[in-house]
Each structure stands twice: as structure tokens, then as C-alpha cells.
Amino acid sequence: MVVKPSSETTSERLFSVAPMLDCTDKHFRVLMRQITQNALLYSEMVVANALHHSKHRNQLLDFNKIEKPIALQLGGDNPALLSEAVKLGEEWGYNEINLNVGCPSKRVKAGNFGACLMANPDQVARCVEAMVISSQLPVTVKHRIGIDDLDSDDLLKQFVDIAIHAN
């Protein structure tokens, strides 16, 4: 979902190369860019908490200029840390920021982010609001159609409505 669009949002692209753990690293993205200039590429998910505490942010954020346009995908549930991470992404030269509310892994769930956040749309809205305020970049949210027993069309619409009206 596009929360804060730009003049060229992801919805205007024919396709994107979505983030995939241990797959969409710098080398893969450069290869994808050789195939097409028309796709939006995504970083692998970078955890906002890791960016906050890391002394090696360049290892988490670096990309090759030929990868552009590129979106920084963030994971987290803390609005302040996500706000900080968005500012770093903008300074680093990313074209878009994406909040991961779709990853179902047990490790991500243990950190209280990813797909489990779909059960708490108000928290997602707080995160999105902090992210939008922090940057001029477009902000998008990657989410699932539902989780566990929260998988009806009505619940998905409610989730999207809450998150998209956060700003």
C-alpha cells in the first residue's frame, strides 16, 4: 500500500523485485538492474533497531548507484526508531521507504514486527505516521492479505484504512 506517494510511486511501475531474505542482496539487485531499468528494487529488510545500535551502518545501508531506483525496507515496531531509520535512508540516497508488515518468520515475530503487526493496525499507524513525518520520501507498507484468523476482506480493508490514514 502506498501511504505517502511521490511523483513516481510504486503503483506506477509495471513490477517490482520484492525483498527476499538472503536473496535480494547488493549483487542480486545489480543483476536485476542489468535485466531492466523499469523495476523498483528493494533492499533486504533492515531492522530499525539494528540501524540504531550498529557501528557499521554502511554494511546495512550501502547499495550501488546503478541499483536506483531502490527502496529501503525497514522492520520494526518502534515509531521513534523507524523515524530515525527513515532519516538515515533518505540521507543514504534511497528513493522510497517501505515498512515490512508481511514477514511471517518466527524470528521476526519474536521481535514484534513483520506480519504479526497486522494484528495491531493502530501500532502500524503510529509507525507509519512517524515515518511519513520524518522524510520527503514516499512511504509504502508491505503487508499480507491477513494473518491467522484475521484474514477476511473486511479486516484487510480495516487494516489498510487505519494505516493509510495515519498521516
The residues carrying an active-site annotation are 103
Rounded CA separation 62/54 (Å):
14
Q: CB of 121 within 8 A of CB of 164? A: no
Rounded CA separation 159/119 (Å):
9
Q: What is the dihedral of CA 145, 83, 130, 156, to 10 degrees?
A: 0
| Residue type (1 letter), 36 | T
Rounded CA separation 4/12 (Å):
14
